[in-house]
Amino acid sequence: MRNFETEAHSTIAAGSFIDSFDQTTSLHLAEAIIDSSEDAIVAKTLDGIIRTWNNGARAIFGYEQDEIVGRPVLVLIPPDRLEEEHMILARVIRGERIDHFDTTRIRKDGGKVDVSVTVSPVRNGEGAIIGASKIARDITFQKLAHKRLLKASNVFTYSSEAIAITDHQGRIVEVNDAFCSTTGFARNEALGCSFESFLKSEDGIAEFSAILLSGTTEHLRIESTGRKKHGDSFVALVTVTAVKANEAMIESFIFLIADVTELREKQKQLEAAAYRDALTGLPNRRSLVTKLEAFIEQCVRTNETFALAFIDLDGFKLINDTQGHDTGDRFLAAIGERLSQSLREGDFLARIGGDEFIAILPGVQSAEHCRGIVERLLSACSRPILLDRIELTTSCSIGVSFLMDRPTSPVAMLNAADRAMYEAKQYGKNQVCFSAESLSSETTTFILP
């Protein structure tokens, strides 16, 4: 049951409490409110003399009340902004209110503080304007945050790198101009799409969210295949950053996409050059060793074999000395082309330096088995080559080694073929010498042309 008597007493007490607020009490209440404000609340005369100073003003500007009251407000104004005070006072005298005027003021220690100022005229009992009240709010942090936001916005807008921002599900909510230029999609075509739709799924990019959500990292870099609007593709270096609302929840993802197609193409060219002989265009020694290792591993695993032919030109030094190095280089290039044409499909030919060439002959198990191939190699080197209307003729000596049943190495096979080639030279050149069935044996057999 409601207690009407108690309610009546409460109402009377409240009324008495309100009635007790006389003019003096109201003044004290206003002063308390002013002093508790974090904003600077200052009153000044029409000639700019400070008359009141609250705790908020002390915190913002650094002056105690007894240090500043009675002094001109100009002590707070930078020299290059003095005209602002004249403008403010002129508007106050006209009875105007100035709302949220952003400016800069000077602290006691000489430092500057960004403030938002609201100024109102102060009137006496007759309504005449006798001064101004000013509320100044410290907006230094907001200004700094705004500058940072503006800088971030400029980076996003003007970056040459494509940027896409997605929600926590990977749906695009914003892209920059570079993204549109890179992919060919207009902004309105990209918004709302899954970011993964711009990459080929087989590259594994679809798992980026699972990786980032696992908490093991906040950044992920993946090289993927990007998709352009009209079906073209490009090599995309994608950096993904998770933006977290808190430790447990991802709010959004930021994707930076760099088109590295040209860079990767140049890298491929450089890598290809590192494995190619610049003079003949054939694979070089580095490529040969890599190929030999692969052949040995495969043949040992499949119980197959192959032969290695070491080809060294006879008399090339005389051509080089009498005709010049330029002609000698052209002669070597022509020999390289002839040797390539003499081999079977699937054979491998490399120039390892000077006038030395190496051929890998898959499936060859014996001297008799490769007789036809080495005879074609001998013929290729012995036929005259016409350069600048001059017929140049040389021959070659060939040493052949075989992959044995037991494991061996590229160096062992090359050394065996090298020894066999030098024996061929000792026996009159322009012929072939085969290493024995065992690479450790010195026994050799010969085929004369």
Annotated catalytic, 355?
Answer: yes
Provide the terminal-to-terminal Cα distance of the chain, rounded to the nearest Å: 130
Q: Which residues pair with 362 in a beta bridge?
A: 306
Q: By CB neighbour count within 10 A (0-12 exposed, 13-18 middle, 19+ buried), where does 188 fall?
A: exposed
- The first and second tokens of residue 210, run together, are 């699972």
Q: Which residues of 65-99 are buried (b: 16+ CB within 10 A; e: fewer)?
A: eeebbeeebeebbeeeeeebbeebbebbeeeeebe
445: CB partners within 8 A, 6+ apart: 367, 433, 434, 436
113: CB partners within 8 A, 6+ apart: 60, 61, 104, 105, 106, 107, 138, 140
- Rounded to the nearest 10 degrees, what angle do helices 285-302 and 410-426 cross at? 110
Which residue type sits at 371? R
Closest to 238 in 3D by CA, of 163, 128, 308: 163
DSSP string, 276-316: B-TTT-SB-HHHHHHHHHHHHHHHHHHT--EEEEEEEEESH
Tell me if residue 122 falls in helix, strand or coil: strand
Strand pairing report for 432-435 and 395-402: parallel
Which residue among 35, 355, 405, 418 is the active-site one? 355
Distance, C-alpha 306 to centroid of its chain: 45
Residue with tokens 């020894």: 419
Closest to 110 in 3D by CA, of 74, 65, 78, 71: 78
Closest to 400 in 3D by CA, of 425, 428, 433: 433
User: What string of H, E and C letters represents the secondary structure of 96-111?
Assistant: CCEEEEEEEEECCCCC
CA dihedral of residues 356, 362, 366, 370 (deg, nearest 10): -60
How many whole angstroms separate alpha carbon 395 and alpha carbon 378? 7
Q: Which residues pair with 120 in a beta bridge?
A: 133
Q: Residues with catalytic annotation?
A: 355
